[in-house]
Chains A and B, each alone.
Chain A
Amino acid sequence: GQNIDQPTEMTATEGAIVQINCTYQTSGFNGLFWYQQHAGEAPTFLSYNVLDGLEEKGRFSSFLSRSKGYSYLLLKELQMKDSASYLCALMDSNYQLIWGAGTKLIIKP
């Protein structure tokens, strides 16, 4: 079967760095996605990793280790607008997305 775990909630300070972890178990793997979802809005795409390593995109970076079933999303220079839920999603062998429950990130001044 497939399973995705990520923390329910995290708190960080404006201007700081935060790392949101995601671990997964799956028999088939075609990539891992991170999405951002503000309250009351649809998710928006942040990153996609299919090979091991770090993908950097501005203040956001995403890391993947396929052997460990592990990914993280790193947010630097946090801004108040980064307060949102961050969803980890696994693409399985059928190219279907399996969603984590999401991590609610709270940014404090």
Chain B
Amino acid sequence: GAVVSQHPSWVICKSGTSVKIECRSLDFQATTMFWYRQFPKQSLMLMATSNEGSKATYEQGVEKDKFLINHASLTLSTLTVTSAHPEDSSFYICSARDPRADSGELFFGEGSRLTVL
């Protein structure tokens, strides 16, 4: 089945530094990928929709200059958390739809747990 891979799974960084998270679709091409954030005991919150070859679409309240998204190829989207602060510590998850699937099922990456010290 379709596989979405995310890297790194865990990252710890110092406050003020930037962190890049990669999301890859391994066996299908994804023109659109979705980035979610999930705080402990809360539901998934869509941050932005990543569009291959064009600008990402950010949800209300998400700072586009802080959460940089690049979708340079049909199999790779990256999320960069710039000047990270402790409040950015969260579980970041990417997802994509396999265009070959009849349903709109989302396949999720493994998630990346960010801890900002």
Q: A-side interface residues toward B, CB under 8 Å?
A: 30-31, 33, 40-45, 48, 50, 87, 91, 95-97, 99-102
Contact = CB atoms under 8 A, between A and B. Distances in A.
A43 B34 CA distance: 13
A86 to B, nearest CB: 11
Interface in B18-76: 34, 42-44, 46
B104 A31 contact: yes
Interface residues of B, number: 18
Contact of A40 (B44, B46, B113): B113
B88 interface: no
**Most chain-A CB neighbours within 10 Å: which of B42, B103, B109?**
B103
Contacts of A42: 6, 93, 108-111
The 4 residue pairs across chains A and B that have the minimum distance between CB atoms:
A42-B108, A42-B111, A48-B103, A101-B43
Contacts of B34: 97
A67 B34 CA distance: 30
B2 to A, nearest CB: 10
Interface in B74-117: 91, 93, 103-111, 113
Interface of B: 6, 34, 42-44, 46, 91, 93, 103-111, 113
A43 B105 contact: no
Contact of B106 (A41, A45, A100, A102): A45
Query: Which of B6, B46, B108, B113 has the most chain A CB atoms closer than 10 A to its own CB?
Result: B108
A42 B111 CA distance: 6
A31 B108 contact: no
A99 B44 CA distance: 7
A31 B103 contact: yes
